[in-house]
Chains A and B, each alone.
Chain A
Amino acid sequence: MSGRGVLCFSRPPRVAAAGCVGGRKEAEGPLAEGFDALVEDTRCGQPSWELAESALARRALDIALEKARLAPENLDAALGGDLQNQCTALAYAMRGVNAPFVGLYNACATMAQGLGLAAALVSGGFLHRAAALASSHFCAAERQFRTPLGYGGKRTPTAQWTVTGAGAVVLAPGGPGLPADGAPVHIAGAAFGRVVDAGVTDITNMGAAMAPAAWDTIARYLAATGRTPAGLDAIFTGDLGLVGSRLLVRLAQLDGAALENHRDCGLLIYDRTRQAVGAGGSGAGCSACALCAHILPGLAAGRWRRVLLVSTGALMSQLTAQQGQSIPAVAHLVELAAGTSGQEGGSQ
């Protein structure tokens, strides 16, 4: 422990496997090749969009477990969440899965939140195998948070497009002497964010509401660990989109930091020039999918050695927004490192 809410693991858990599933728009996006499965029918043969999201989440978990050569019975816990009311997408997905389930909610920050918690529990020896997962579905989110799908509304340019997809990561204890998983990536550290409210009331501009929270968490993590942005190969934010990404870089500049290696999952998952997605992707599934389809494979392939994933969540509800309240935001962070030659070294 080297700062409030900042965790540096002396026994960094290893990423045993990851699985992710995307929808049609994700299949047309730049990260399509990294997905384990892409569904043409985004209804997934289900009677509702809500259950379709559950089906996506379940499939992502199944794929991750299969890749890790584990059965649900081998899982000590699954930690995850989604955007639906009362976190129902994952609750319904976990029906019939023989594993303890810890439901989480931090909106689009859920993936890093779950991964950080799972890593802490595995690193501390409380759990042997844990999964972190998150999902979102464009159609389920639209009908809950915005207008019906068939309604002829025009989206503002700052609005973002909820990712239809789910990602799941299975963690196992790191270091020698334990079952080898063949995955060289480990979770070196994590940081849980503070709730930051920058006074943004426009719910079609959540990137702007979340950027200050993202910088708050990144800055605290850098200060606590002594790392510098230049010492990291990349800093991935969850879903700041175009507007939030620009603000993040500006906020860092004001604090005298240069975020030259910053990338945003919401801008990676879609091609804004080809796909009509407004300011980029968003949703709990956004950073989950980008993590599993892009970041983890990139680390495994040696493209990067040390990166941060900073999932960002806007914590308002329809009710608070209608009551005129501004948008509180939070960002949780995990540090991912490849290989065992890093300074944490995966040592026991």
Chain B
Amino acid sequence: MGRDCAWAFAVGGGICRLGEALRTGYLAAGHTLTDAAALTSVTLVALSAAATALGWYQKLAARAGAGTLVPITGFANAVVSPAIEFKAEGLVTGAAARMFTIAGPVLVYGAVASALWGAVWYLLRPWVAA
């Protein structure tokens, strides 16, 4: 338990530290704050996809657990791994159809939650917004 937590903390923290380094780098290269954030996410997703394709991500995840699941790289892994796995069943009925078997619920409930919060915010705004 303690070892699992230490792994999750170190690896999850490491991924976030990498993200922060990327963001600082993109800012230093002259990108705006919003662009730097977007580029950071894109880079992490690309790195995670590559690591998944090479079979490294799941080896790290077997030890890191939530440390690799929670950051955006975990979401990329959840999309890329079924796409690779079900390629054998065809690009349409396999890779594309199965790509969202794990990530699908996150997208659905993520969209629902943001819509609900949007409605709440709409009602609250007259009172909270300056």
Contact = CB atoms under 8 A, between A and B. Distances in A.
- Most A CB contacts (10 A, CB to CB) among B55, B60, B66, B88 go to B88
A152 B88 contact: no
Interface stretch (B29-37, B77-85, B122-130): B77-85
A147 B52 CA distance: 14
B86 interface: yes
Contact of A47 (B69, B82, B85, B88): B88
Interface string A123-154: 00000000000000000000100011111111
Interface in B81-125: 81-82, 84-86, 88, 102
- Most B CB contacts (10 A, CB to CB) among A143, A152, A155 go to A152
Main secondary structure of the interface of A (DSSP, over half): loop
Given A47-B88, A48-B88, A147-B102, A152 B69 contact: yes
A154 B61 contact: yes
Contacts of A152: 52, 57-58, 60-62, 64, 68-69, 74, 77-78, 81
A157 to B, nearest CB: 10
A138 to B, nearest CB: 13
Contacts of A143: 85-86
Contacts, number: 58
Main secondary structure of the interface of B (DSSP, over half): helix
A148 B60 contact: no
Contacts of B74: 152
B62 A149 contact: no
A176 to B, nearest CB: 52
25 contacts: A47-B88, A143-B85, A143-B86, A148-B84, A148-B86, A149-B58, A149-B81, A150-B57, A150-B77, A150-B80, A151-B58, A151-B78, A151-B85, A151-B102, A152-B57, A152-B58, A152-B60, A152-B62, A152-B69, A152-B78, A153-B58, A153-B69, A154-B61, A154-B62, A155-B62
Interface of A: 47-49, 143, 147-155, 276
The 3 closest A-B CB pairs, nearest first, are A152-B61, A148-B85, A150-B81
